[in-house]
Amino acid sequence: MDTTSFTKKTIGGVTHVEPALTPPPMEHTTPPFPVKPKQISTKTRVKKRDIPEGLWTKCPTCGTMIYDKELDENLKVCPKCQHHFPIGSRERIHSLVETCTFEEMDAEMSSVDVLKFAGYKGKLERDRKSTMLSDAVLTGVGKIGAHRLALGVMDFGFMGGSMGSVVGEKLTRLIERATEGGWPVVIISTSGGARMQEGMFSLMQMAKTSAALAYHAQARLPYISVLTNNSYGGVMASYAALGDLILAEPAAMIGFAGPRVIKDTTHAELPPGFQTAEFLLEHGLIDATVPRKEMKEQLMRYLDYLAAGRSN
Ligand SMILES: [Zn+2]
């Protein structure tokens, strides 16, 4: 068609139609530099552009690459297989309490290196900076639905959620305030256990928190313990196991000592999955497994039951 041509040449009476886009001569297609290095640099550029660092997370259970924004919006739960990733204490509180109802307690309380344990000060400093927390638990009073309650949320990002003097003291003050106020207590645990850098001072927190919960129970006030991955050691051997109701997130690992330590000590064959939330639900330690996205709704329901018939 004439629309695809722009010149006409006549050679020996034959009309020749020249195409609008003339292909370049063959000799010009050969690049003036070696091909291989160019290909490598192009590939690197494309890779970096497609998967920017820090924007994607690989699910350890199903292997799916999840866009971080999507993971945050889904409360750090894999949308494909429901794997529960660790979640920070502030994000968790935000997902549970009614907007602007949470009043933090003892925000400035922080650990001291009383035993002069090698490297402890540096680790405290590092985790204070990386988590913006003063220690491994965040406590305060807030509202879930219509219920005012005392809420303690542990953070695994701060020295593996280990329980030292500050964790024990903050939780004890929280429980005592709940007893005075006539409020239920909810503690969401994640911990590797007592903090070895504080030795006996850590272990004393087990008795202190348990005693505070005994006074709270004497006042006939409910306490709900929520176990998340991982809940181990001195935390499981004290307040985390003392709930009137004990809930757990799906697939959370829960126990006192790790499976390898138990196996080496007892020389017994352990049943498969014996420290998972599902196994412990079947064997009676846990009352229910609750997915993270249903936690607020379920807590409201349980608090309705537990508060039923109370005047305040
Ligand atoms: Zn997954």
Please give the distance, rounded to the nearest whole angstrom, from the Cα atom of residue 65 to the centre of ligand 1.
Answer: 8
Please give the distance, rounded to the nearest whole angstrom, from the Cα atom of residue 58 to the centre of ligand 1.
Answer: 8
What single-letter amino acid sits at 291?
P
pTM: 0.82
**Distance, CA of 186 to CA of 223 (rounded, Å):** 6
**Distance, CA of 312 to CA of 310 (rounded, Å):** 6
Is 50 exposed, middle or buried (CB count within 10 Å of its CB: 0-12, 13-18, 19+)?
A: exposed
Residues with CB under 5 A from ligand 1 (ion): 59, 61-62, 78, 80-81, 83
Task: Identify the pLDDT of residue 236.
Answer: 97
Task: Identify the pLDDT of residue 44.
Answer: 44
Please give the distance, rounded to the nearest whole angstrom, from the Cα atom of residue 53 to the centre of ligand 1.
Answer: 19
CB distance 263 to 242 below 8 Å: no
Please give the distance, rounded to the nearest whole angstrom, from the Cα atom of residue 110 to the centre of ligand 1.
Answer: 36
CB distance 57 to 41 below 8 Å: no
The dihedral of CA 62, 78, 159, 210: what is its sign? Answer: negative
Please give the distance, rounded to the nearest whole angstrom, from the Cα atom of residue 158 to the centre of ligand 1.
Answer: 25
Backbone φ, ψ for residue 137 (5° rounding): -140, 145
Please give the distance, rounded to the nearest whole angstrom, from the Cα atom of residue 154 to the centre of ligand 1.
Answer: 24
Please give the distance, rounded to the nearest whole angstrom, from the Cα atom of residue 57 to the centre of ligand 1.
Answer: 10
Please give the distance, rounded to the nearest whole angstrom, from the Cα atom of residue 77 to the centre of ligand 1.
Answer: 8
Task: Identify the pLDDT of residue 50.
Answer: 58
The one-digit pLDDT tens for each residue of the chain (312 residues) are 444 444 444 444 444 444 444 445 554 445 455 555 444 444 444 454 555 667 999 999 999 999 999 999 999 999 999 999 999 999 999 999 999 999 999 999 999 999 999 999 999 999 999 999 999 999 999 999 999 999 999 999 999 999 999 999 999 999 999 999 999 999 999 999 999 999 999 999 999 999 999 999 999 999 999 999 999 999 999 999 999 999 999 999 999 998 889 999 999 999 999 999 999 999 999 999 999 999 999 999 999 999 886 755
Strand, helix or coil for residue 256: coil
Task: Identify the pLDDT of residue 135.
Answer: 97
